[in-house]
């Protein structure tokens, strides 16, 4: 077991793991660029993740990646911050497909510009999924967004992580009432992003490299 999902406790394998590793490496590279250039962070559309410090992002990418790509003795407790990492990774897949499609329109549909779409299709084909799948050169962004959402839902229960600011703005009593109504753990929003020391970063980076290799 490794990650608690609606489909049970899962470790990603095969084509699903390959897609996740590609997203993990891509997002890691963008966070590293943010650190190197002290530039504005890339907006993945997931506020909880986007607002973290870059070193916290690296640490959480390593933690979440390890939990989903390696067999572990127990599942991590689900929190707004670690589920936001998963959402950001799938958000990156969506954005990468959008960019891929935009580029392919200018490059006469070069096969190399279908890489992300082929990775997504491979997951469904490996599972012999009965969805009516598009061809890898399909340029309908909405169709790809739907497929990525299906894959995201295999891991994420919902998008409660996007409600973090709302809960922080509520009074303690109202926040408790909402959590009970929606079935959210009382510590879900209180988890704090890691703050790794400089001496810990080489180990985190090595873990990410290992995860992205296979």
Instruction: For 155-181, write each residue's pLDDT tens digit.
Output: 999 888 887 666 565 556 665 666 666
Contact present, 67 and 75 (Cβ < 8 Å):
yes
Instruction: For 82-93, write each residue's pLDDT tens digit.
Output: 999 999 999 999
DSSP string, 30-67: HHHHHHHHTPPPP--S-HHHHTS-HHHHHHHHHHHHHH
What phi and psi values does residue 37 have, to the nearest 5 degrees? -100, -5
CA distance 25 to 209: 8
* Mean per-residue pLDDT pooled into runs of 10, the chain (214 residues): 89 97 97 88 92 96 97 92 97 96 71 86 85 89 95 92 67 63 73 95 98 90
Dihedral of the alpha carbons of 187, 208, 102, 116, in degrees to the nearest 10: -100
**Which residues does residue 5 pair with via DSSP β-bridges, in sequence order?**
8
Buried b (16+ CB within 10 A) or exposed e, 166-190: ebeeeeeeebeeebeeeebeeebbe
pLDDT of residue 172: 64
pLDDT of residue 163: 75
């Amino acid at each position: 077991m490794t990650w608690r999902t609606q489909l049970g406790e899962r470790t990603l394998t095969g084509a699903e793991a390959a897609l996740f590793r590609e997203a993990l490496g891509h997002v890691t590279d963008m966070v590293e660029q943010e650190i190197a250039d002290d530039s504005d962070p890339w907006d993945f559309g997931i506020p909880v993740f986007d607002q973290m410090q870059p070193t916290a992002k690296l640490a959480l990418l390593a933690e979440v990646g390890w939990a989903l790509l390696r067999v572990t003795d127990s599942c991590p407790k689900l929190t707004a911050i670690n589920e936001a990492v998963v959402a950001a990774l799938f958000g990156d897949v969506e954005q990468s497909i959008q960019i891929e499609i935009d580029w392919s329109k200018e490059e006469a549909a070069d096969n190399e510009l279908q890489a992300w779409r082929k990775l997504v299709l491979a997951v469904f084909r490996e599972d012999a999924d009965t969805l009516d799948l598009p061809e890898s050169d399909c340029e309908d962004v909405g169709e790809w967004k739907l497929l990525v959402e299906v894959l995201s839902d295999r891991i994420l229960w919902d998008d409660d992580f996007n409600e973090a600011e709302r809960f922080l703005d509520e009074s303690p009593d109202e926040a408790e009432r909402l959590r009970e109504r929606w079935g959210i753990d009382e510590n879900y929003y209180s988890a704090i992003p890691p703050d790794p020391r400089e001496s810990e970063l080489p180990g985190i980076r090595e873990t990410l490299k290992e995860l992205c290799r296979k």
